[in-house]
Amino acid sequence: MLKTEANLTQTDVLDMDKRLLGDLYRVLFGNAADAIIRISECNSVECVNDIVDIIRSTNIDLDYLIGKYGQDEVIYKVLQVFQAFFSFLIEHGLLNTEYKNLVKKNLNSRGKSMKNVHYMIEMAGSILMNAACRIHYLGLSRVGGYAVDRYLLILSRAMDALTMEQTNKAIRLLTAAELALIGRDKEADEMLKPINLSLYIIDRHLTLCSFMEKLHDLGIIFTEEDLGKDVV
Amino acid sequence: MSIKKYLLDTNILIDYYLCSNNEDFSEGNMGFCRSFKGFMDYVLSAELLMSDVSIREFVLKLIHKMAITPLPPPDNLGKSLVTYADNLVNQLINELNVNVLDTDKNTLRTIYELAQLIRGMQRRKLKKRILRGLDRDAINIVHAGYNEATLLTEDENLIYALMNIPTDVLNISCKPHNGFDFKINNCHMIAHLTTSGSSLNASVLLISPQQ
């Protein structure tokens, strides 16, 4: 819901709400599509530049939207787009119960607090990782030629890096994620090497975490007490 | 880190589970998991080893959990729960390409020698606590030594034991390892074995577990 200004009717507000959402989808997905097209042809240095370019143009677009609709509204709508994506993951069984509850709880909390927004961004890394692991576990790693599991796992690490304010690492990870998604493995590896990562390591993470998802689905629940030596 | 081989303890696997199937979304815990994942990048880039004992222990942990699972038994359980859990873990070991180490008579002889050194200690209470802290971890330490691998563990009792063995009993030095947002102790042990005349060189990375 928007802050109602005195001179706006309820319908005006809803209209603006919808227009903003529409604009935002165009900005975010338009730029994402652009990224996929450009990344399919670049070589390694260009790839980073392309992604930085796209991030920059996304920022300019977002700034424009902020000027038009106000910062808070845009941020809340970005959050809604995030949540829409997470809801999609839930609907398709790509998040386990714990993460499902977490996202649902966040969806239900009506308060438009910035704290909520920050929390969601903090959480994004682990939510995306869980989705990557479940996708691998469910055998949906390759969808239409796209390496979705690798993509989501690398993307999750990019979100982690952003949370830890490692911007350059985050950009490398974002670029590598896009490259891995479209199967440009050699280039993705080149991108990951300076940050001590590789697709081999990413795949091993997927092997390990998808096994943990299997255990979870078998009803095997470990807690911190299980870290002790004694077999319970 | 230049170490190329890691010997995993079961608690590392369990912490990995905890970080990927989280119920604790507190800031502190999420921070630990972010760092832990970064740490696992190094581990997963290396050659992985596990002792046969740790693998059995992990299987047993799964069996105990499955016995009280809130779900009906899986359709594909097959002949027995034990075989099912065995297959589950074997599959992981294969897919992750983990080298399994057999605990044989030689391993046990070395452990016996190490334990004898500790049994020679004067302080009875400390001696007891150290032996209890070591118990089956001694197997992993010996495997790590003989395979030039680093044992990776979160076992608090072992941390206590290693840090409290007097240097005149066993040559052990521990120092904190920097570069991660959680506590890691890097311990190195050199033991001269009298019967075989050889020496055991083992290194252990002790991770302070999640709070």
Q: What is the pLDDT of residues A176-230, one digit of tens each?
A: 998 999 899 999 999 999 999 999 999 999 999 999 999 999 999 998 888 865 5
Q: Which residues of B touch A222 (CB under 8 A)?
A: 14, 17-18, 21, 61, 65
Per-residue pLDDT tens for A110-132? 455 667 777 777 788 888 999 99
Say what the pLDDT of residue A112 is. Answer: 59
> B21 vs A216: CB contact, 8 Å cut-off?
yes
Confidence of residue A7 (pLDDT cuts 50, 70, 90): low
Which residues of A fall within a CB distance of 8 Å from B2? none
For A27, A37, B163, B202, the CA distances from B145, given in Å and listed in that order, are: 56, 51, 18, 4
> What integer is the mean pLDDT of B44-69?
95
Q: Distances in Å between the alpha carbon of B77 and those of B45, B65, B69?
A: 33, 15, 14
Residue A48's pLDDT is 80
Predicted confidence (pLDDT) at residue A63 exceeds the cutoff of 60: yes
By the 8 A CB rule, do B144 and B202 touch?
yes
Whether residue B18 and residue A229 make contact (CB cut-off 8 A), yes or no, is: no
Residues A207, B25: C-beta atoms closer than 8 Å: no
- Report chain A's terminal Cα–Cα distance, integer Å: 50
Q: Which ipTM score applies to this complex?
A: 0.92
Average pLDDT over residues A172-178: 90
CB contact under 8 A, A211 and B92: yes
Assign B135 a pLDDT band (cuts: 50, 70, 90).
Answer: confident
Tokens of A103: 């996202």
Distance CA A167, CA A160 (A): 10
CA distance A137 to A147: 14
Q: List the single residue in B17, B23, B37 with the smallest CB-CB distance to A212.
A: B17
- Provide the pLDDT for residue A131: 92
pLDDT (average), residues A129-145: 88
pLDDT band at residue B139, thresholds of 50, 70 and 90?
very high
The pLDDT value given to residue B210 = 56
Mean of the per-residue pLDDT values for chain A? 81
How much is the average pLDDT of B108-119?
Answer: 91
Residues of A engaging B, defined by a Cβ cutoff of 8 Å: 96, 98-99, 102, 122-123, 125-126, 129-130, 133, 157, 160, 163-164, 196-198, 200-201, 204-205, 207-209, 211-216, 218-224, 226-229, 231-232
Q: For position B45, what pLDDT does the model report? A: 96
> How far from chain centre, in Å, is Cα A151?
10
Nearest CA distance, A212 vs chain B (angstrom): 6
Q: What is the pLDDT of residue B87?
A: 96
The answer to whether the Cβ–Cβ distance between B16 and A218 falls below 8 Å is no
Q: What pLDDT does A192 receive?
A: 95
* Chain A nearest-CA residue for B10: A227
User: What is the pTM for the complete model shown?
Assistant: 0.86
